[in-house]
Amino acid sequence: MPTGSTEERLALAVKADDGFFTTFFVSSYSPRLVLRLAKWGVSPNAVTLFSMAVALFAAAGFSWGTRTGLVIGAILLQVSFTFDCVDGQLARFTGVSSSFGAWLDSVFDRTKEYLVYAALAYGFVRTGGDPAIWTLAAVAMSLQVVRHFVLFSYNVPFTSTQRGRGETRGFVGWLRAIVPFPIGERFAVISLTAAFTNPEVTFVVLIAWGLVALVSTTSGRVVRSLS
Amino acid sequence: MSELRSYLDLGLLAKVPPIGTSLRIPTSVGIAVSLAAVGAMFLLEGGWLVGVATVWAVVIAGTDVDASSLGWLMPPLTRVFEYGLVIVVALEADISGPLLFAYLGAVAYHHYDVVHRFSVLGSGPNWLLGAMLGGSGVRSIAVAVAAAFGVLPVWLVVAGIWVAAVGVAESVTTWSRAPRHPLGSSEESIS
């Protein structure tokens, strides 16, 4: 069991380098959820599974393709994402982080995201949309895999600069955290564009922002590895 | 096998002499060839693509990524070529969208698995390297050949089901038996 007061341990359970959306729209209230779940004795892996199950219902809503389906999918995706952040915080808070749990969490993260892409494309075609949307979905997924591999591979020879705890970010600091398009921002884009516009817009935004993020993170790392 | 070499997903080609063991192609050449191959796949088709994929497969397997500070660029570039090639030939052959997406999803699962397993389980057993249809290089050659002979849909179905079934089954059985050791603080996941 980790040491320190409950408040200190809760604060430490929140990742230091979370994105803008995660920090302000999830981690602002998630510690309360963590406390409650810890009191009930719920395991982090159970939370991971619950988050995956909710994402399956979100995908079902998206694949329905109607406005109602898209709105339900958008809301459930945000519920799923909240519990996705909570599982890791709960694991760190209760001191039961494991490599198996990290694997489960990571595999489900990818599965959720790409399942939602497929569901959006399926629902779009089902309601009379152009089947070419599947190409957009395939490009969006491929781009995200490439972006993940820039981060994975760079971290092999170099350690990415981790923000220290308690360090506050200014405007530029937050901008630098938002441009790389982390998972909280991606899921927010998916929910907002799916609920208010249509899946075609979702993929166009995912691809456009993803390309900007790819160019900025890759060029920055090339410069750093040459200096 | 080094971590970056594992991330390249070379399959058994990584262990075949002399390609995978003693070519020692400089990373700068590997990066240049990868970029040229990505450009070429938009311009060429048929047998020419088979040629491009073959040259590219040999070069990535022979590139000494650990000798350069830019070696980390090779794994993402390898993903660009493999996924890009599938999308380009699928568009030309008018492949069904869900099939294209499912095939790429199966390959992506395997690629994430390569990364997740390395810190805990190493680069994976030899039979798995072979079972993944020879890694990025040989899978790309196979896709180019299937497209040239007009059998791309059949190949994507068969290869996609195989890669997904073996990849998921192997990783689930391996991880459920893996030691549940506590996570080090350096292993924060990338999301």
**Closest Cβ–Cβ partner in B4, B87, B180 for A138:** B87
**Closest B-chain CA to A139:** B87
In chain A, which residues have their Cβ closer than 8 Å to the Cβ of B164?
A: none
Chain B: closest CA distance from residue A146 (Å): 5
What is the C-alpha to C-alpha distance for residues B145 and B46, in angstroms, rounded to an integer? 8
Chain A: closest CA distance from residue B75 (Å): 7
Q: Is residue B75 within 8 angstroms of chain A, CB to CB? A: yes
**Closest A-chain CA to B176:** A100
DSSP B181: P
**Closest A-chain CA to B79:** A146
CA A141 from centroid of its chain's CA atoms: 14
Interface test with B, best of A109, A126, A156 (most B CBs within 10 A): A156
> By the 8 A CB rule, do B144 and B45 touch?
no
Q: Is residue B178 within 8 angstroms of chain A, CB to CB? A: yes
pTM, two decimals, is 0.94
Chain B: closest CA distance from residue A33 (Å): 21
CB atoms under 10 Å from CB of B54, counted, come to 16
In chain A, which residues have their Cβ closer than 8 Å to the Cβ of B70?
A: 222, 225-226
Interface test with A, best of B72, B89, B176 (most A CBs within 10 A): B72
In chain A, which residues have their Cβ closer than 8 Å to the Cβ of B183?
A: 97-99, 101-102
In chain A, which residues have their Cβ closer than 8 Å to the Cβ of B27?
A: none
Q: Does B98 contact A118 at a Cβ distance shorter than 8 Å?
A: yes
Q: Encoding tokens for residue B56?
A: 């590219």
pLDDT in tens, chain A (227 residues): 567 788 888 888 888 778 898 988 898 899 999 999 999 999 999 999 999 999 999 999 999 999 999 999 999 999 999 999 999 899 989 988 888 888 888 899 999 999 999 999 999 999 999 999 999 999 999 999 999 999 999 999 987 666 666 667 888 888 888 999 999 999 999 999 999 999 999 999 999 999 999 999 999 999 999 98
pLDDT tens track for B17-72 = 777 777 889 999 999 999 999 999 999 988 999 999 999 999 999 999 999 999 99
Q: Label each residue of chain A as H, E or C.
A: CCCCCHHHHHHHHCCCCCCHHHHHHHCCCHHHHHHHHHHHCCCHHHHHHHHHHHHHHHHHHHHHCCHHHHHHHHHHHHHHHHHHHHHHHHHHHHCCCEHHHHHHHHHHHHHHHHHHHHHHHHHHHHCCCCCCHHHHHHHHHHHHHHHHHHHHHHCCCCCCCCCCCCCCCCHHHHHHHHCCCCHHHHHHHHHHHHHHCCHHHHHHHHHHHHHHHHHHHHHHHHHHHHC
Residue B89 has pLDDT above 80, yes or no: yes
Q: Does A100 contact B178 at a Cβ distance shorter than 8 Å?
A: yes
**Closest Cβ–Cβ partner in B73, B104, B181 for A142:** B104
Residues 6+ apart with CB under 8 A from A226: B69, B70
What is the C-alpha to C-alpha distance for residues A23 and A67, in angstroms, rounded to an integer? 29
pLDDT at A40: 95
Chain B: closest CA distance from residue A196 (Å): 25
CB atoms under 10 Å from CB of B102, counted, come to 19
> In terms of pLDDT, which residue wins out, B100 or B23?
B100
ipTM: 0.94
Q: Is residue B84 within 8 angstroms of chain A, CB to CB? A: yes
Chain B: closest CA distance from residue A13 (Å): 12
Q: Is residue B108 within 8 angstroms of chain A, CB to CB? A: yes
> By the 8 A CB rule, do A194 and A214 touch?
no
In chain B, which residues have their Cβ closer than 8 Å to the Cβ of A20?
A: none
CB atoms under 10 Å from CB of A20, counted, come to 17
Q: Is residue B97 within 8 angstroms of chain A, CB to CB? A: yes
> By the 8 A CB rule, do B134 and B12 touch?
yes
Cis bond before residue B18 (omega within 30° of 0): yes
**Closest B-chain CA to A187:** B191
What is the C-alpha to C-alpha distance for residues B13 and B19, in angstroms, rounded to an integer? 7
**Closest Cβ–Cβ partner in B76, B116, B178 for A106:** B116
> With bands split at pLDDT 50, 70 and 90, how would you rate the model's confidence at B182?
low
